[in-house]
Amino acid sequence: MTQLFDLSGRTALVTGSARGIGFALAQGLAAAGARIVINGTRADTVDEAVQRLRADGHDALGRAFNVTDEHAVAAAFEAWDRDEITIDILVNNAGIQFRKPLVDLELADWQRVIDTNLTSAFIVAKEAARRMIARGRGGKIINIGSLTSEGARATVAPYTAAKGGIKMLTRAMSAEWAVHDIQTNAIGPGYILTDMNQALIDNVSFDAWVRSSNPSQRWGKPEELVGTAVYLASPASSYVNGQIIYVDGGWLAVL
Ligand SMILES: NC(=O)c1ccc[n+]([C@@H]2O[C@H](COP(=O)([O-])OP(=O)(O)OC[C@H]3O[C@@H](n4cnc5c(N)ncnc54)[C@H](OP(=O)(O)O)[C@@H]3O)[C@@H](O)[C@H]2O)c1
């Protein structure tokens, strides 16, 4: 049974993993046996995250790059090619939030949110999948969606459009790459306690709304996404493709 979820001998790139959900997923994939590649925008915080994993006895390396910069992403993969580091598991996790009513939203802000949350998944997965296909040993791609992959809320339109796009991009990747034994799936987290939500956590009325409208009546913790990520990264999901699994405390189950 443990072999079903064993990631030994695999290397997992988790984008945006210097902190938050990405770091928790990196820790979980490492605990399941994977070598981890940490990513974020800053070399210093990427290095700190790598050191934390190594201090726990895990195999980890890091590379800072902007996931929206196709040249930087290509350069990272070319460097790993030279070092014979193969990315077997990709988690497209890097993301940002930006809150503003649609009528006040500047095009540049719309574009930045779409680029970071949606286009980046295309840019990074394209580099990863090309190599997975050439190696002929399959692979795993996990895109991070959101409750907004299913429903909208006011003031987060570009994020909602991007995360809705993530759901369909996951299916599009499956349509092309499943034949190469690459399983592409997504995780849709509910409201999770991370820096991204700090302003909402500190807002007494929003915090109360999260607790009252969620059947679990609490926020989720980043580590509660690990089980689903390990499943989707492991042999246990070898015939699962194009799905988005919501880890939301039951949020989408109720009206
Ligand atoms: N928290 C939630 O409730 C929630 C719910 C649903 C979905 N999600 C999704 O889960 C993912 C992680 O969210 P989080 O809450 O953990 O966010 P977070 O704590 O704000 O961390 C975001 C991470 O993404 C990285 N990042 C942002 N822009 C990047 C870029 N252009 N290039 C490379 N890395 C970049 C950040 O790097 P730096 O450290 O260098 O800034 C950071 O490591 C996101 O896709 C988010 O949309 C979160």
Tens of pLDDT along 149-202?
999 999 999 999 999 999 999 999 999 999 999 999 999 999 999 999 999 999
Residues with CB under 6 A from ligand 1: 15-16, 18-22, 39-42, 45, 66-68, 93-96, 116-117, 144, 146, 189, 191-192, 194-197
User: Cα of 136 to ligand 1 centre, how many Å?
Assistant: 31
Whole-number Å distance between alpha carbons of 128 and 90: 7
pLDDT digits (tens, 9 = 90+) for 4-15: 999 999 999 999
Query: Which helix or strand (DSSP H or E) is residue 207 part of?
Result: helix 204-213
The answer to whether residue 254 sits within a structural domain is: no
User: Which candidate, 61, 159, 149, places its Cα nearest to that of 110?
Assistant: 159
Are the C-beta atoms of residues 226 and 26 closer than 8 Å to each other?
no
The answer to whether residue 253 sits within a structural domain is: no
**Whether pLDDT at 1 is above 90:** no
3 state DSSP class of 188: strand
pLDDT digits (tens, 9 = 90+) for 32-85: 999 999 999 999 999 999 999 999 999 999 999 999 999 999 999 999 999 999
User: Which candidate, 190, 141, 191, 201, places its Cα nearest to that of 166?
Assistant: 141
The answer to whether residue 229 sits within a structural domain is: yes
Write the Ramachandran bin of 250: left for phi over 0, alpha for psi from -120 to 50, otherwise beta. left
The answer to whether residue 68 sits within a structural domain is: yes
The answer to whether residue 131 sits within a structural domain is: yes
The answer to whether residue 24 sits within a structural domain is: yes
Number of structural domains the chain divides into: 1
pLDDT digits (tens, 9 = 90+) for 86-136: 999 999 999 999 999 999 999 999 999 999 999 999 999 999 999 999 999
Q: How many CB atoms lie within 10 A of CB 199?
A: 11
The answer to whether residue 214 sits within a structural domain is: yes
Beta-carbon contacts of residue 243 (< 8 Å; ≥ 6 apart): 170, 185, 186
Ligand 1 atom index nearest CA of 68: 31
Ligand 1 atom index nearest CA of 196: 20
Q: Which of 23, 41, 67, 118 to mutate to test the pocket of ligand 1 (most atoms within 8 A of CB)?
A: 41
The pTM assigned to this predicted structure is 0.99
Identify the domain containing residue 123 by its residue range.
2-247
User: Which structure tokens are listed for 250?
Assistant: 């039951």
CATH of the domain at 118: 3.40.50.720
Beta-carbon contacts of residue 145 (< 8 Å; ≥ 6 apart): 163, 166, 167, 170, 186, 187, 188, 189, 244
The answer to whether residue 178 sits within a structural domain is: yes
